[in-house]
Amino acid sequence: MTDPLTKTPAAGSASAAPDPTLDSPNRPASGGVAGIALVLGGAFSVQFGSAVAALAFPLAGALGVVALRISIAAVLLLAVCRPRLRDYSRADLGVAAAFGLALGGMNVFFYLAIERIPMGLAVTLEVLGPLVLSVVIARRALSLLWAGLALAGVFLLGRGGLEEINLAGAAFALCAASMWAAYIVLSSKAGERFPRLDGLALAMVVSMLVSLPLGIGSAGTALLDPVVLGLGAAVAILSSGLPYALELLALRRLPKSTFSILMSLAPAIAALAGFLVLGQTLTLLQCLAIGLVIVASAGAVRTGRAAKS
């Protein structure tokens, strides 16, 4: 999973404002190499964090684990940012609330998906959300090619036995995809209204208020088990804290277009994490399907970039 908390410049972050140095052709090559390493490090952290989360599912279930992950991340962000509600209008807080609902829904649906289907397939379906958004925004004929490639990838997933894996899991992944698209739009709006990370911190609180009752209802007192708490803390760090820091550093060294293209590798990294940590395997046809979606995602990013220039 390209973590929903970090896969686009977070609201109110330093990366939300254009940096004239980001696309400078004179940036040192060493900075580019370091930036690529940071992006890939963050991506591996996110996906292996999701794999660790899956290990905790037998103890607390998907809803319990996601509730712990979001709650711990929300508490940490509040402690760092300390946003003051009186500094913002009702309209600002409404945007933060909508942002939080999208963020929470994206995480909940994704964890429900990886409880049922392999991570590589879940992330492949999930990235269709931002891919479709990129195609719609670009409004270029070339975008239809990327949309066609993505559809071909989904078709191959079906031919590869997606219906035999779990249709509910696939449906949850597609719900996460729609929430991710909403997250991208609302993250941008929140970034315009909130300084620093205040918007993200408030959104995380809303996400916590959504996910925590679901987690308590599903897992009950299992959430207080020291092992579950430890795994929840590890997931919060691996899937939120560490990748967010790495991506912020990467965005200071790489063009945003390069950053976005590298993030398109998420399905492949997720498949690797699922294989190494969870022992999940994919057929050759499913690997080809993932490859098509990766190419479509990268192409859509480049097309969208060209449309803006």
Query: What pLDDT, on the 0 to 100 scale, is given for residue 13?
Result: 36
213: tokens are: 């009752």
Task: Tally Cβ neighbours within 10 Å of residue 41.
Answer: 17
Query: What pLDDT, on the 0 to 100 scale, is given for residue 11?
Result: 38
* Alpha-carbon distances, residue 162 vs 17, 95, 121, 250, 285 (angstroms): 41, 36, 9, 35, 11
> Cα–Cα distance between 6 and 185 in angstroms, integer?
14
Q: Where are the domains of the chain?
A: 28-308
> Cα–Cα distance between 77 and 202 in angstroms, integer?
9
> Cα–Cα distance between 98 and 78 in angstroms, integer?
18
- Compute the residue count for the chain: 309
Of 267, 288, 220, give the one whose Cα is nearest residue 7: 267
* Alpha-carbon distances, residue 144 vs 129, 147, 149, 180, 267 (angstroms): 15, 5, 9, 21, 21
Rg (CA), the chain: 18
* Alpha-carbon distances, residue 219 vs 25, 58, 113, 215 (angstroms): 52, 10, 17, 6
Query: What pLDDT, on the 0 to 100 scale, is given for residue 33?
Result: 79
Query: What pLDDT, on the 0 to 100 scale, is given for residue 160?
Result: 56
3: tokens are: 């973590």
pTM of the model: 0.79
Query: What pLDDT, on the 0 to 100 scale, is given for residue 7?
Result: 46
Of 290, 242, 298, give the one whose Cα is nearest residue 117: 290
What string of pLDDT tens digits covers the 309 residues of the chain? 545 444 444 433 333 333 333 344 444 444 577 888 888 888 899 889 999 999 989 999 999 999 999 999 899 888 888 888 888 889 989 999 999 999 999 999 999 999 998 888 888 888 888 777 777 776 676 777 777 877 787 777 766 555 566 889 989 999 999 998 888 888 888 878 888 778 888 998 999 999 999 999 998 989 989 999 998 899 888 887 788 778 767 767 777 667 777 777 888 888 888 888 888 887 888 888 888 888 887 777 676 665 555
> Cα–Cα distance between 81 and 68 in angstroms, integer?
20
